[in-house]
Amino acid sequence: MIDDYTTTMELLVKMEAQLPIPIYLTRTLTQLMRGQGVRLVAKQAL
């Protein structure tokens, strides 16, 4: 737990600078979603 407001705010700024975090679908998940009718491309950042 961080009790120092300034330190907390500095950490939040650093965390927000890393967002958004890109995700990549695996081939298995892509195939599963296609089976549900969702059009996706494997290895494409979402």
Percent pLDDT > 70 in the chain is: 96
In a domain, 1, yes or no: no
In a domain, 8, yes or no: no
In a domain, 4, yes or no: no
pLDDT score, position 15: 93
Residue whose token pair is 């679908």: 25
In a domain, 31, yes or no: yes
Domain span holding position 43:
20-46
Torsion from C-alpha of 35, 40, 44, 46, nearest 10 degrees = -100
The pLDDT tens digits for 2-15 are 789 999 999 999 99
Tell me the average pLDDT of the chain: 87
Residue among 17, 12, 16 at smallest CA distance from 2: 12
Q: Is it the case that residue 16 has pLDDT exceeding 90?
A: yes
In a domain, 42, yes or no: yes
Any residues with CB less than 8 A from the CB of 44 and at least 6 apart, and which? 24, 25
pLDDT score, position 35: 92
Q: How confident is the model at residue 42 (pLDDT cuts 50, 70, 90)?
A: confident
Count of the separate structural domains present in the chain? 1
For residue 28, what is the enclosing H or E element? Answer: helix 27-35
